[in-house]
Amino acid sequence: TVLRKAVDLIKRGRGIDIDLAALPLDDKPSYELLAKADTAGVFQLESTGMRDSLKRLKPDRFEDIIAMVALYRPGPMDNIPTYINRKHGEEEVDCLHKMLEPILKETYGVIIYQEQVMQIAQVMAGYSLGEADLLRRAMGKKDKNEMAKQQARFVEGAMKNGVKKEDAVYIFELVDKFAGYGFNKSHAAAYALVSYHTAYLKANYREEFLAASMTLDMGNTDKLAMFTSEARKFDIKVLPPCVNASEVDFLPAKKQIRYSLAALKNIGAGAVEALVAERQANGPFKSLSDFAARSNPKTLNKRALETLSAAGAFDALEPNRALVNGNVEQILALGNRLASDAAQGITDLFGGGGGGGKGGLDLRPQKAWTPMEKLGHEFDAVGFFLSGHPLDAYQGVLGKLGVISSAELEAKAARGNVAARVAGIVVSARERRSQKGNKFAFAMFSDSTGQFESIIFSDTLAACRHLLEPGTAVVVSVEGERDGETLKLRAQGIQSLDEAAAGVQRGLKVVLDKRAAQAKGAMAELKSLLKPGGKGTIVIAMALEERGREIEFALPGRFDISPAQQGAISTVPGVVEVVEV
């Protein structure tokens, strides 16, 4: 379980033994976490509706957690506002009768548990424990004949204890109403204890809690993306996978979590275990040739190496991901040759078993990926954008376009119907046909705070179908509302984000170092990338010999200055930076 895994990680990383059974039930950080509804990954408490209730409840005692676990179900859910209002003194607590105060005081007069039903029958109407249990069962079955007998029995017993007949009838009918969906308190308490333990670990050992949660959910990229977003909210870096640092599990450290190799697509846990064992036995890999010599080509095949390179797992050995990705066959060939030589007793002349050189690895030159291309390949390998997000390149214009994030959209929807503009990268689109023959589509979009899905009806679909290719940056005008736990959105219009950005962008400043200024090839490549006909200006800046000085000149005409174009320009050798002006 997540609890066991988190406890193990805390012991491994901090040397602290956590005894869950001995945890104090009055931990202040835990209740602060619950009051903020910071409960993603917390057992029983992570749904949207539950979080909304927790924010209003602001639990400050274990009994509140038990009550919420019992109340958050169809039927008793209607009593959540009453419980919250009474807890905060916004509504008078009514325990129905003073003899019932010891039973109902804990829950502010709200009947929540089956045990309360039985206790009311015993205290008010003189039922034995066995009779009270029969009453509870009868109320659950809603047997009219049996309930008529039980009401007569209850009222008679209550009157013998000095309760007025009309009060006894009212209380019986009220108890009957609640008993049909009353929850067993001992069961609710058991669930609540697990909820509290997970909240405690998240509040006090967040890195270990998130790493454990990600390890247990490593096959669910939606959950991994959510936990990664959770980590970033608290300035915890999720480091990319690394052949020299990652393992099968996600590994926590102070303010960071190292991504698992086994969570990547096309990578099996067995292959990762073998790689880690080799690393532990003979030290970290010193170069790509060293990796080729010491890894097993049978478990790490071409697809696996392409995934590792796209995800950034070789960055420590070679930061140019395109170079590694374009040479996986050479890496495999060297590995196979060295393995064959070793099997025949032939000495490794290149020192691949430990040397740091290229060791016979003939890497073919590859054009570096643009930032957008790099993120696209990373998405394919990881399942979501890990090291950054394509929309990061648009940060300068998103505010000017009046768009909000998907997280802000979720927050707005919790308060009612929404209408907004949201920027996103198309993740997927599925076309369908209605019973009337009209085409419509469901499209999934991603931004830096999460993902959102929208339905696109026929008229809008006809106008924007060309924009629904995966990887396309768009601005979506949506309307929607929450239906239970689901946010249902309808796209009213979709526009290319580059086109929208062109309307508010002004220009770019391309800063070159002296090397680029003097290299004809670099200048020629830069010139080939400039696309006239856009709406932006471009200024070229070059450093002079004098420290801290540079010369600038504006290029005549207007150019395409979209973020994709900025990314392409940034890959030219000698380009120091590309900034909006």
Residue carrying the six token digits 């179908």:
465
Q: Which of 155, 185, 215 is the last residue of a domain?
A: 185
Cβ atoms 34, 249 nearer than 8 A: no
Q: What is the pLDDT of residues 259-268, one digit of tens each?
A: 999 999 999 9
**One domain, residues 486 and 511:** no
**One domain, residues 359 and 453:** no
**One domain, residues 337 and 426:** no
Say how far apart CA 279 and CA 479 lie, in whole Å. 52
* Residue 254 CB neighbours (<10 A): 8
| pLDDT at residue number 444 | 95
**One domain, residues 410 and 442:** yes
Q: Which of 372, 402, 432 is the last residue of a domain?
A: 372
| pLDDT at residue number 546 | 60
First to last CA, the chain: 52
**One domain, residues 436 and 510:** no
Residue 552 belongs to a domain: yes
Say how far apart CA 59 and CA 144 lie, in whole Å. 39
Q: Which helix (H) or strand (E) holds 35?
A: helix 28-35
Q: Which helix (H) or strand (E) holds 486?
A: strand 486-496
Phi and psi at 271, nearest 5°, equal -65, -40
**One domain, residues 90 and 175:** yes
Residue 322 belongs to a domain: yes
**One domain, residues 532 and 455:** no
Query: How confident is the prediction along the chain (581 residues), in pLDDT tens digits per residue?
Result: 899 999 999 999 999 999 999 999 999 999 999 999 999 999 999 988 899 999 999 999 999 999 999 999 888 898 999 999 999 999 999 999 999 999 999 999 999 999 999 999 999 999 999 999 988 888 878 778 888 899 999 999 999 999 999 999 999 998 888 776 778 999 999 999 999 999 999 999 999 999 999 999 999 998 999 999 999 999 999 999 999 999 999 999 999 999 999 999 999 999 999 999 999 999 999 999 999 999 988 889 999 999 999 999 999 999 999 999 999 999 999 988 887 777 777 655 444 444 444 456 889 999 889 888 999 999 999 999 999 999 988 887 888 899 999 989 988 887 788 999 999 999 999 999 999 999 999 999 999 888 899 999 999 999 999 999 999 999 999 999 988 778 899 999 999 998 888 877 678 888 888 766 666 677 788 888 888 877 788 998 887 666 667 788 888 888 888 877 888 888 888 888 888 77
Q: Which helix (H) or strand (E) holds 258?
A: strand 256-258
Burial class (CB in 10 A: 0-12, 13-18, 19+), 399: exposed
**One domain, residues 468 and 531:** no
Residue 255 belongs to a domain: no
Q: Which of 140, 159, 185 is the last residue of a domain?
A: 185
Say how far apart CA 164 and CA 156 lie, in whole Å. 10
**One domain, residues 356 and 333:** yes
Antiparallel, parallel or unpaired: β 550-554 and 251-253:
unpaired
**One domain, residues 419 and 484:** yes
Residue 29 belongs to a domain: yes
Burial class (CB in 10 A: 0-12, 13-18, 19+), 122: middle
| pLDDT at residue number 44 | 95
Helix, strand, coil shares, percent, the chain, to 5: 50, 15, 35
**One domain, residues 419 and 556:** no
Cβ atoms 523, 575 nearer than 8 A: no
Closest Cα partner for 485 from 406, 407, 409, 414?
414
Cβ atoms 439, 431 nearer than 8 A: yes
User: Could you give the number of structural domains in the chain?
Assistant: 4
Mean pLDDT in the chain?
90
| pLDDT at residue number 424 | 96
**One domain, residues 484 and 518:** no
Which domain, by its residues, includes 368? 264-372
Residue 129 belongs to a domain: yes
